[in-house]
Every structure is written in structure tokens, then in C-alpha cells.
Amino acid sequence: MEREKIRVQGLKVEAQGRPVLKGIDISFFENRITGVMGPCGSGKTTLIYAINRMIDFEEGLRVEGHIFLDGEEILTHPNPVEVRRKVGTVFALPIPLPRSVHENIAYGLRLKGIKDRQRIDYLVEDSLKKAFLWDEVKDRLHSSATKLSGGQQQRLCLARTLALQPEVILLDEPTSGLDPISTGKIEEALKELKKRYTIVFVSNNTKQVARLCDLTAFFYMGELVEYAPTDRIFTNPKERTTEDYIRGKFG
């Protein structure tokens, strides 16, 4: 097994007294794509939002437990901005900032304190290449990002996250709004990227999880039902609910 990057310990989240996550223990490993699957309302997104501290912006939540990144506590980290730089996020829907392609990536770089133009240009190109988008947009770096297609926008969002050189990448159903070809390109990029990152991939598309992820965690009603290597969980699930979900009996 590879090195443990993130450890979640007894994570409980309640929204207005209603439990969303009921005491989760799970670890994510370096150079692995870990799939997090489960039906809507199983708490997958909340888990992601806790790891990158986006949970701070949700109102009326009660959060208990610990999340460690390389042994350092994230949940009570005094500087959430620092956490979010280490833990990059790609959201379900592609949401480019209302700026040019170039500026979408440069935005985060400047916030990080990188002022040198050549350095920014280099990082923009580098991250677009890593997201398999460079060839399609290199001639229109300075036109608006909202004019790109949905699939291109999502790869731009990935590039934007990569440019900040995070250690962990969280993807919250990143291909749910994309066509199969765009989805394929994103998956291709992720397989390449896992060589350097810890990747957590949330999806409720079981086939996608099966072909892309090394490890798979199945969440149901705020609980972690089963967590095992993807091969094992898809061929020989231990729990009844996992099997039902994989076979498409509910979801």
C-alpha cells in the first residue's frame, strides 16, 4: 500500500440536527485515484467540502472529528486558505470565472503571490497541457472562457486547479454534465495525474468508478458502508447494500 496522505477520523456532520455524515473513518493514499460512490444524499460532497474547508461557507452545520493531511489537522487549521491551496477542487459543473482562459488560471497564481509574467505564462501553458486542453485553446488564450464548450470548460477548471500545484485533487462528479468524449479526456488526464497526486474522485456512475479508480469507497445514508480495492468491491462486495447499488437496484 502507498503512503497515507489524508486520514479522516470520526467525521460527523449535522445540518440543523439532521445527520449528514455519521462518523466516517477513511484514508486516502498517494498516487491513487480513490473513488467515492453512493446515491444522492449519502454525504459524498459534504466529505469533499470538509477536506478542503469549503464547509466553512455552509451555514448551520455542526462538525466533529478530525481530518489529517500529512498528519496535520485540517478541520481546525487556522488558515483555511492554506488548506485549499494544498487541496485543489474541481466541482460538478464547470464554472469558469468570467474572465479569459489565461486569466482563469492566472487568477489563482497571482493570489498565491506569483507576479512574474513569464512564470505565469509558463504555468498556464504547463497546466493546460496537463489537462489535455492546450492544443484546443492555445490560439484563444485571451478570449472569454465562457465561450469554450462544456467539456473544455471542465478541463480548464482542472488546469486551473493543477496550476496551483496542490498535493491532493478532489473531484466532485466532474463529468456528470459532460458528453462521453469529454469524459474520456478527463479520465485520461486523471490517469496521468495520479502519478504525482492524491486523487479523490466522487461519482455516482459506477461504471466510471470501476474503470478509473484504484480504490473504491461506497457511501450510503451518511455512512461508509464498504472500502476496498476497486476489483474486489466490484467482483465480491461484502455488504448487501453495496451489491445492490452496483447492480443498479437503487441509486
Give the closest residue to 26 by CA, choosing from 229, 222, 227: 227
Answer for which of 52, 154, 203, 242 binds other proteins (CB under 8 A) is 52
Q: What is each CA distance from 101 to 86, 93, 158, 181, 208, in whole angstroms?
A: 22, 17, 12, 21, 28
Tell me the Ramachandran region of residue 239: left when phi exceeds 0, alpha when psi lies from -120 to 50, beta otherwise: beta
DSSP letter at 157 equals H
Q: Which is nearer to other proteins, 12 or 86 (CB)?
A: 86
Q: Which is nearer to other proteins, 167 or 243 (CB)?
A: 167
Q: Is 62 in the site for other proteins (CB under 8 A)?
A: no
Which range touches other proteins (CB under 8 A), out of 30-38, 50-58, 65-73, 183-191?
50-58
- The sign of the CA dihedral 230, 235, 236, 242 is positive
**Count of residues interacting with other proteins (CB under 8 A):** 26
Give the closest residue to 153 by CA, choosing from 171, 169, 177, 173: 177
Binding mask 72-111 for other proteins (x = CB under 8 A): ---------x--xx--xx-x-x-x-xxxx------xx--x
Q: Which is nearer to other proteins, 10 or 150 (CB)?
A: 150
Q: Which is nearer to other proteins, 90 or 224 (CB)?
A: 90
The arrangement of strands across the sheet holding 168-172 comes to 87-90, 168-172, 198-203, 33-37, 215-220, 223-229
Which residues contact other proteins by CB under 8 A? 52, 54, 57, 59, 81, 84-85, 88-89, 91, 93, 95, 97-100, 107-108, 111-112, 144, 146, 157, 160-161, 164
